[in-house]
Amino acid sequence: MTAGPGAAVVLEPDEVPARAGSRLGLSGWLEVSASRVRDYRRATADTSAPDAVPGLLLLSLLSPLVAQVLEVGNTRNAVNHTVGPVRFPAPLAVGGRVRAAVDLYSARWRPRGFLEVVVEVAMLDTDGHEVCTARQGTLYATGTDDARDLTPR
């Protein structure tokens, strides 16, 4: 089972490891508007090419796009744990649209009931060119084995 564009695959924690190596689906399209790029550049003092979307702005869109494709049910919390390797093979023009093709790279149980899920993501423009590729690791607190609460205090 894969998610259609913008529709999440919902898996229970025990189901995730068996799906390693499979395509989970595609996110919906997201426009990277001129105002979003302008706000990013103001906040970071970015002076890169004015017609291209900064790579780190693209990278910051990874989590919300992946969340459109994969949802792990019956978890208390999730925290973005790792990212890398990251590549920006082609530029995206300001105002361009992207979506994420998401594959489940690996999943394994960690101590104290945490499930570590690593997805491999290719962000694609409307012509199908990869504009960002990365692996993202997320730790899910399942509540089993006295998993620690990750809620900030």
Domain ranges (residues) in the chain: 9-146
pLDDT at 149: 46
Is 143's pLDDT higher than 90? no
Is 5's pLDDT higher than 70? no
* pLDDT tens digits along 90-141: 999 999 999 999 999 999 999 989 999 999 999 999 999 999 999 999 999 9
pLDDT at 2: 67
Q: In b/e form, how buried is each residue of 53-62, taking b as 16+ CB within 10 angstroms?
A: bbbebbbebb
Measured between alpha carbons, how far is 60 from 49 in angstroms, rounded to an integer? Answer: 18
% of the chain residues with pLDDT over 70: 90
Cβ(107)–Cβ(16) under 8 Å?
yes
pLDDT at 50: 84
Is 151's pLDDT higher than 60? no
pLDDT at 147: 42
| CATH number attached to the domain at 9-146 | 3.10.129.10
* pLDDT tens digits along 33-50: 999 999 999 999 998 888
Is 146's pLDDT higher than 90? no
> For residue 85, what are the CA distances in angstroms to 5, 93, 106, 131, 148?
25, 23, 15, 14, 28
Cβ(103)–Cβ(113) under 8 Å?
no
What's the mean pLDDT in 77-88? 94
pLDDT at 47: 85
Confidence of residue 145 (pLDDT cuts 50, 70, 90): low
Q: What is the pTM of this model?
A: 0.87
Is 153's pLDDT higher than 60? no
Measured between alpha carbons, how far is 151 from 100 in angstroms, rounded to an integer? Answer: 28
